[in-house]
Structure 1
Amino acid sequence: MTNEAGNGRIVVGVDGSEPSKRALEWAIRQARVTGGSVEAITSWQLPTAYGWVPPADVDWEGDAAKELTEAVRAVAGDEPSVPIRSTVVEGNPAEVLVNASRDAELLVVGNRGHGGFAGLLLGSVSQQCVHHAHCPVVVIHGDAPEHGGA
């Protein structure tokens, strides 16, 4: 699979949820098969509500980075079999992933993240990615049985 970028970069959205960890597993296997690399991306936003002031002692970006590091380590171990770059970006998760897809070979997301309605087949982020990404998108279901190889 080759797009204009032709760089073998697989972008995967990781929020620490089980579906996102499964998406990371799948992306790593795919990168191993294709000789590519993985960019694990998480995003963060200040919570917003009218009249609410966010606490000054919360490190939103640091907490997001810690969550991403823990998820990557849990899935890939300390010595991953493919190059993995971890990226933390401030912004709406769907927008961040769609922007990252501009120069990627593939975008991989879990079907559900944190929050939302449990009965939905696709979460809002995965649905936005399917509709707006600039490269092919793979949606991994967190409750799907494990398959060998990518």
Structure 2
Amino acid sequence: MPLLINRQPAADRWTLIQPQEGETLEALATGVDALLVPIEQLDAAAALNPAALGVQINGDHSVAQLQPWLARVTLIAVEFPVFRDGRGYSLARQIRRLGYEGELRAVGNVGRDQLGYMERCGFNAFSLADDRYSPDTLKAFSEISVRYQGAADDPRPVYRQHSESTV
């Protein structure tokens, strides 16, 4: 899966570990430096003291569950299970409002037409399916030049943007 970080193609150093019944996190995580786990496994993963710890959440989780970990995790992956599920946008905005400055990655059903808005909500990394990526994908970040509402990237509404640029 192609990965974009800060609008640039990048290699994915993270390994997502999701233990199934009968498997242990310790056994699966052996030799893994950058460990990404579902939030339900975060306590156990932190006890393994990996070089880098990341967490994957979805719209069913609340930021309150994640808040105690914001200083410890270096990656938060927010899963978008289907296109019509926009809860991940709200999660990203809330996470950034809490001061998280690390990698905030959109995973799952992520498409080119969503990238600009996801970035405005606070995402700085995007994992796209192979069939949804092309060299043209990077243009998605600059296709819309006028934004009426404020967001995580620029809190000013359009009338403030205009008035401040003419002063």
**TM-score class, shorter:** 0.3 to 0.5
TM-score, normalised via structure 2 length: 0.30
Larger radius of gyration, structure 1 or 2? Answer: 2
TM-score, normalised via structure 1 length: 0.33
